[in-house]
Amino acid sequence: MTTQHLPMPTLQRKGGELHLEEVALSAIAEEFGTPTYVYSLAALKAAYGAYRDALGGHRAMVCYAVKANSSLAILSVFARLGAGFDIVSGGELARVLAAGGDPARVVFSGVGKSAAEMRQALDAGIRCFNVESAAELERLAAIAAAMGKVAPIALRVNPDVDPKTHPYISTGLRSNKFGVAFDEAAALYRRAATLPSLRVAGIGCHIGSQLLDGAPVVEAAAKVLDLVDRLAAEGIALDHIDLGGGLGIRYRDEQPPAVAAYLAPLLALFAGRGEELLLEPGRSLVGNAGLLLTRVEYLKPGAEKNFAVVDAAMNDLARPALYDAWHEVVEVGAGSGERARYEVVGPICESGDFLAHDRALAVAAGDLLAILSAGAYGMTMSSNYNTRPRAAEVLIDGARIHLARARERVEALYAGEAALP
């Protein structure tokens, strides 16, 4: 078979067979079946370490963006490494706490926080609410007052900076639903400062995901720092500045900057300042630490296209159907069929159910394929469409295998339902 670029740092071929760390992927398939998500502990630790090392000597905290991958196993890894967490729902808060995360290191983002979620987060004692509208500010103030608590808040401001990424994952433009309009933020801070059940703690922004150029982040940060200084002149001092996440990874031929190079100009802006810097990386911590293992069910040659029908589908990995996203697809074994070009598709009854277009593969029915760089927004975006149980999840630590999530059972999918009497 031809040599293929493997963007995942702990994935290698030994004796013609793919291994993640020291474990053969075929052994994972034999023990746990397919489709299965497989993650590398060493890759998770290395990715977090890159941020920790780049921020060394600075007053800073890395808050892992839970939405990228909310597996308890992965959350517990980051909790033990000392990470904070960026959450966007009460369910994610419950997961963080179940995994041993410190609520005092949790920031709560999102445009639609419910009253119940606010109460849950206040009871837990989270670090900060990232407030995204005037209406949310008033609701949070009323709920905190009724509970006899003081809610720590930061406004997520919208700096109207183009991140030059996919429109679905751009979040900092004037037309996006996220954040408070930049020219309205000062007035909203003044309002917050008058409410005794709120404590103004910081400011935040997040301009988008899969960023391959740090310049837009620096531009947004400069605008935020200018606002921070104007607020300080009015007597509204902020303790932290949250610049979000978004650093991209290599899926195909992208060349994202190294973490240290990405952060260097941001840290230069913070030189001599006293505020704590918060960052919310997600994809760059988990994306290239995981893959989706799947098996070929059928090869279906056609007049215009050949299809490799696999047992994973768009319900398991939505990114290709949702964003037309590229994921490298590689043979787990040495390749047992004649090399040809295939559409890699799943069994779901949708024409949009594809995992990869026009890939050169040497496969036969029954062979295993690895869909790479699937650690972020894979399992968290999966569904039970077509009444398909969600995949198992496995975490690899050297030669050790940890079942992070058992495969769902079909009967469990309708256990809470009732037929008409």
Reduce the secondary structure of the chain to three states and give it as a string.
CCCCCCCCCCEEEECCEEEECCEEHHHHHHHHCCCEEEEEHHHHHHHHHHHHHHCCCCCEEEEEEHHHCCCHHHHHHHHHHCCEEEECCHHHHHHHHHCCCCHHHEEECCCCCCHHHHHHHHHHCCCEEEECCHHHHHHHHHHHHHHCCCEEEEEEEECCCCCCCCHHHECCCCCCCCCEEHHHHHHHHHHHHCCCCEEEEEEECCCECCECCCHHHHHHHHHHHHHHHHHHHCCCCCCEEECCCCECCCCCCCCCCCHHHHHHHHHHHCCCCCCEEEECCCHHHHHHHEEEEEEEEEEECCCCCCEEEECCCCCCCCHHHHHCCCCCEEECCCCCCCCEEEEEECCCCCCCCEEEEEEEECCCCCCEEEECCCCCCCHHHCCCHHHCCCCEEEEEECCEEEEEECCCCHHHHCCCCCCCC
Q: What pLDDT score was predicted for residue 168?
A: 43
pLDDT band at 172 (very low <50, low <70, confident <90, very high): very low
Hey, is 388 helix, strand or coil? coil
- Asked whether the predicted pLDDT for residue 167 surpasses 80, the reply is no
Location of structure tokens 């569904």: 383
Q: What pLDDT score was predicted for residue 49?
A: 98
DSSP assignment of 282-308, as one string? -HHHHGGGEEEEEEEEEEE--SS--EE
Contact between 106 and 93 (Cβ < 8 Å): yes
- Asked whether the predicted pLDDT for residue 5 surpasses 80, the reply is no
Give the residue numbers annotated as catalytic, written as ranges. Answer: 349
| Helices marked H in 21-67 | 25-32, 41-54
Q: What pLDDT score was predicted for residue 176?
A: 62
Average pLDDT of every residue of the chain: 93
* Domains contained in the chain, CATH given: 11-40+287-413 (2.40.37.10), 109-281 (3.20.20.10)
- Asked whether the predicted pLDDT for residue 155 surpasses 50, the reply is yes
Report yes or no on whether pTM surpasses 0.85.
yes
Q: What pLDDT score was predicted for residue 1?
A: 41
- Asked whether the predicted pLDDT for residue 3 surpasses 70, the reply is no
> How is residue 250 written in tokens?
């290599």
Residues in CB range of 378: below 8 A, 6 or more apart: 37, 69, 290, 292, 316, 317, 319
With both helix axes pointing from N to C terminus, report the angle between 259-269 and 41-54 in degrees, rounded to the nearest 10: 30
Lowest mean per-residue pLDDT among 64-68, 155-159, 311-315, 357-361: 155-159
Binding-site residue positions for substrate:
283, 319, 323, 350, 377
Q: What pLDDT score was predicted for residue 162?
A: 65
Binding-site residue positions:
246, 280-283, 319, 323, 350, 377
- In angstroms, the CA 104 to CA 84 distance is 8
The percentage of residues in the chain with a pLDDT greater than 70, rounded to a whole number, is 95
> How is residue 402 written in tokens?
């940890």
Q: What pLDDT score was predicted for residue 195?
A: 98
Q: What pLDDT score was predicted for residue 104?
A: 98
Binding-site residue positions for pyridoxal 5'-phosphate:
246, 280-283, 377
- In the chain, the amino acid numbered 236 is I
Location of structure tokens 């939405």: 67
- Asked whether the predicted pLDDT for residue 281 surpasses 80, the reply is yes
- Asked whether the predicted pLDDT for residue 393 surpasses 80, the reply is yes
- In angstroms, the CA 343 to CA 361 distance is 10
